[in-house]
Amino acid sequence: MPAKKEKNVQQLSIRLPDDIYRKLSEMAKEQGIYLNQLILQMIKGGMSVQLAVRKSIDEHHEEIFRDAIEIEKSIRQDTTVAVRNTDGFAIEKIGEGMVKNGYMTIQQVNKVLQLQKEKYSFAKKFGEIAVELHVVDPEKLEHYLSELEKKSSS
């Protein structure tokens, strides 16, 4: 079977373990093609898969980055979860305090904030949503809120 001549072809010499060489030779024989053709097909196929995987990963990273920016924006814009002192200045946002005290993770806070914004349009309190989702112990939330109330009255 004469091979089709290609322009700008480079030669590559590689060393293969005997068992891999034998298996490749058998596969080429079964397909009725030269060993070089089989290896070239495998390389092209592997490259296509690699490129597709890279593209998918890049797209996924871009999507995650966009989501992170949106979550950050919602956290920054969310003033309904801030506890304020008598002068009206925010002491700290409840979610930030819950993370700082080890009662919730940042991922849990983000999930609560997202639900608070998208599902409840900020009509439901942060703590209520967190308790419903079972991401915070109600007693810990009460303790935290009572500590904040003490801070806000001072």
What's the confidence (pLDDT) of residue 27?
94
* C-alpha distances in Å from residue 150, one per residue of 32, 83, 84, 101: 83, 11, 11, 16
Strand ranges inside 55-122, DSSP E: 82-84, 90-93
Q: Which whole-number Å values give the CA distances from 125 to 95, 104, 113, 132, in the listed order? A: 11, 16, 10, 11
- pLDDT at position 145 is 85
DSSP code for 104 = S
In the prediction, which pLDDT does 38 show? 93
- Candidates 152, 140, 54; CA nearest to 104 is 140
Q: Could you tell me the pTM of the whole model?
A: 0.42
pLDDT at res. 85: 47
Domain residue limits, the chain: 18-68, 78-153
- How much is the pLDDT for 131? 93
Each residue's pLDDT, cut to its tens digit, for the chain (154 residues) gives 555 666 788 888 989 999 999 999 999 999 999 999 999 999 998 888 888 888 888 888 888 887 777 776 665 554 344 444 455 444 567 888 888 888 988 889 889 988 888 888 878 888 899 999 999 999 998 988 888 777 766 6
pLDDT at 8: 84
